[in-house]
């Protein structure tokens, strides 16, 4: 297949690009900058210049390929709601080029707020569109596109990590460096699901190949979860060891002041399972765990 990948120069998207090409697919990767375009070309991918705000460039990329994996997202959390709206528009633009063609579209969503307090499953639906607690509407947009004849699937991501980057945990590290303590909220028993970057990339490919051959019109939902839940205390302790700073418990009412925008998430219990995903796609995550990657990162800096 010739696959259009948005976010192809990003942390997850570049790994997806490499996974696809390693399996014999061709990749047309979206690149905003000259630096990103050069990196894609050097990796063996074809380059499509544009960005998520250039909806016509997205339509052209989707129209020129056999399927789309949408990994691109602006992670500037100071304007998260606006970026979620941009994501909706981008997905709709991609879908408009695929409608009625039976070519697949894999959309990326988050897993954290699907079912706080219990282990989320693939059969859980996202909160109502427009919720202040969950403004990202990638899944709801995928559902609408499915009703218009677009073969869609949703990839829900937890904390994606390798020894260089660890999702929201990277922000926790930055806060710990700044404040001189590695903190967790309350007793630190709240959990975050996690997956190694290469395991996530492999799952994207399996989902794309399944969607390309699947005649079912329903939206498939997959969980890229390698670890169901790593506790906040375990993460804080690993950061404390790595930075050689104290590890402390933070009262919930102090979390916003200490963690900044992450204060809304630091104390949340957000585990998830990938049992159905593994069963349906034969996916077996085998990369290092989140704590192992944190320890490797601190060994090499």
The more confident residue out of 146 and 59 is 59
Split at pLDDT 50, 70, 90, the class of 126 is: confident
* Whether pLDDT at 187 is above 70: yes
Same domain? 187 vs 140: no
Give the pLDDT confidence of 135-145 residue by residue, as tens digits.
Answer: 678 888 998 89
* Whether pLDDT at 246 is above 70: yes
Q: How many domains does the chain have?
A: 2
Q: What pLDDT sits at residue 134?
A: 58
Same domain? 91 vs 152: yes
Alpha-carbon distance of 259 to 103, in angstroms, equals 42
Give the pLDDT confidence of 20-39 residue by residue, as tens digits.
Answer: 999 999 999 999 999 999 99
Q: What pLDDT sits at residue 27?
A: 98
Same domain? 74 vs 122: yes
Same domain? 8 vs 115: yes
Average the pLDDT over 150-169 and give the result: 94
* Whether pLDDT at 287 is above 60: yes
Same domain? 140 vs 275: no
Same domain? 44 vs 118: yes
Same domain? 201 vs 109: yes
Tokens of 20: 């696809």
Same domain? 126 vs 275: no
Same domain? 233 vs 95: no
DSSP string, 142-207: HHHHHTTT-EEEEEEE-EEE-SS-BTHHHHHHHHHHHHSSEEEETTS--EEEEEEHHHHHHHHHHH
Same domain? 65 vs 212: yes
Split at pLDDT 50, 70, 90, the class of 76 is: confident
* Whether pLDDT at 283 is above 80: yes
Q: What pLDDT sits at residue 128?
A: 65
Same domain? 151 vs 266: no
Alpha-carbon distance of 48 to 31, in angstroms, equals 6
Of all residues in the chain, what percent are helix, strand and coil, respectively (each to 5)?
Answer: 45, 20, 35
**110 sits in which H/E element:** strand 104-110
Residue 45: which domain range? Answer: 2-160+195-223
Q: What is the pTM of this model?
A: 0.95
């Amino acid at each position: 297949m010739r696959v259009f990948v948005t976010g192809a120069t990003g942390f997850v998207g570049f790994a997806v690009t490499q996974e696809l090409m390693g399996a014999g697919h061709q990749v047309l990767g979206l690149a905003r900058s000259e630096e990103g375009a050069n990196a894609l070309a050097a990796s063996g991918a074809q380059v499509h210049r544009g960005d998520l705000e250039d909806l016509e460039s997205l339509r052209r990329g989707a129209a020129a390929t056999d399927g789309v994996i949408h990994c691109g997202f602006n992670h500037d959390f100071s304007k998260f709601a606006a970026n979620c709206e941009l994501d909706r528009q981008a997905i709709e633009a991609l879908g408009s080029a695929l409608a009625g063609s039976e070519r697949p579209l894999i959309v990326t969503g988050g897993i954290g707020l699907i079912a706080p307090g219990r282990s989320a499953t693939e059969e859980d639906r996202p909160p109502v569109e427009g919720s202040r607690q969950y403004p990202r509407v990638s899944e709801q947009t995928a559902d609408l596109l499915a009703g218009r004849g677009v073969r869609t699937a949703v990839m829900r991501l937890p904390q994606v990590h390798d020894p260089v980057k660890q999702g929201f945990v990277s922000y926790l590290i930055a806060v710990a460096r700044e404040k001189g303590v590695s903190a967790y909220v309350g007793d630190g028993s709240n959990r975050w699901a996690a997956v190694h970057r290469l395991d996530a990339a492999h799952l994207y490919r399996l989902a794309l190949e399944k969607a390309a051959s699947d005649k079912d019109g329903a939206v498939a939902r997959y969980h890229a979860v390698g670890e169901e839940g790593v506790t906040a205390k375990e993460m804080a302790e690993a950061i404390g060891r790595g930075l050689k700073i104290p590890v402390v418990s933070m009262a919930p009412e102090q979390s916003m002041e200490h963690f900044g925008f992450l204060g809304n998430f630091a104390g949340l219990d957000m585990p998830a399972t990938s049992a159905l995903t593994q069963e349906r796609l034969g996916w077996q995550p085998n990369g290092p765990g989140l704590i192992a990657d944190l320890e490797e990162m601190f060994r090499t800096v």
